[in-house]
Amino acid sequence: MAYPHVAPEAPKFSRSVVVGNLIFVSGCQGMNPETLKTETGVFEEQMVIALDKVRMAMEEAGSSMNNIVKTLMLLKNLEDYPRRRKTELEYYQEYAPFLVDSPPASTFMQVASLARPEFLVEIDVIGVVSRE
């Protein structure tokens, strides 16, 4: 959710910020935004939840997934990297076909832990409102 539409029990930060033509999306992970619980330990399912949050933030900013220009993906387990690539490609095919052949600049890092021990992936994104 974009500020000020932040659940009262959630930490106070903006899910996304628009500055000029740029959209900055805070780290999105596999936690259910309604219950604030991580309801799956399956990497691919957590990644789809995170990508859904990214898509929602991009759309709330008046843009779309096709306008992502930079991603930072943090993975807890290096073994999930091949599944990350496959899940990302399948998601882009459905929601951001432009990115299939013109992927954004991307940084991947394995991390020892994320904000909660059950989180397996976190995605931070920079996008543009318009590519024109």
At residue 5, the pLDDT reads 52
Integer-rounded Cα Rg, in Å, for the chain is 14
In order of start, what are the domains of the chain with their CATH numbers? 16-128 (3.30.1330.40)
Cβ proximity of 124 and 71 under 8 Å:
yes
Task: Report pLDDT for 3.
Answer: 44
Starting at the edge strand found earlier in the chain, the sheet holding 68-75 runs 16-19, 22-29, 121-128, 68-75, 105-110
Residue pLDDT, tens place only, 52-98: 999 999 999 999 999 999 999 999 999 999 999 999 999 999 999 99
Mean pLDDT along residues 21-27: 95
Q: Provide the sign of the torsion angle of the four alpha carbons 35, 41, 45, 47, taken in this order.
A: positive
Helical H segments across the chain, by residue range: 43-60, 81-95, 97-101
Sequence letter at residue 118: E
- The whole-number pLDDT of residue 15 equals 82
In this predicted structure, the answer to whether residue 32 has a pLDDT above a threshold of 90 is no
